[in-house]
Amino acid sequence: MNVSVIIEYIGVFLIFIGSLFALVSAVGLIRFPDVYTRSHAATKSSTLGVLMTLTGALIYIVVSQGYFSVRLVLGIIFVFLTAPVSGHLVTRAAYRAKVKLADITIEDALEDVIHGKKEELKEDNTN
pLDDT score of 120: 57
Task: Find the distance separating the first CA and the last CA of the chain, reported in whole Å.
Answer: 78
| pTM, full prediction | 0.77
The tens place of each residue's pLDDT in the chain, 127 residues long, gives 788 889 999 999 999 999 999 999 999 989 988 888 888 888 888 889 999 999 999 999 999 888 898 999 999 999 989 988 998 898 888 888 888 888 887 777 777 777 666 555 555 566 5
Helix or strand holding residue 5 (H, E): helix 3-31
**Distance from C-alpha of 42 to C-alpha of 31, rounded to nearest angstrom:** 12
pLDDT score of 117: 62
Tell me the C-alpha to C-alpha distance, in Å, between residue 47 and each of 6, 41, 59, 67. 26, 9, 18, 25
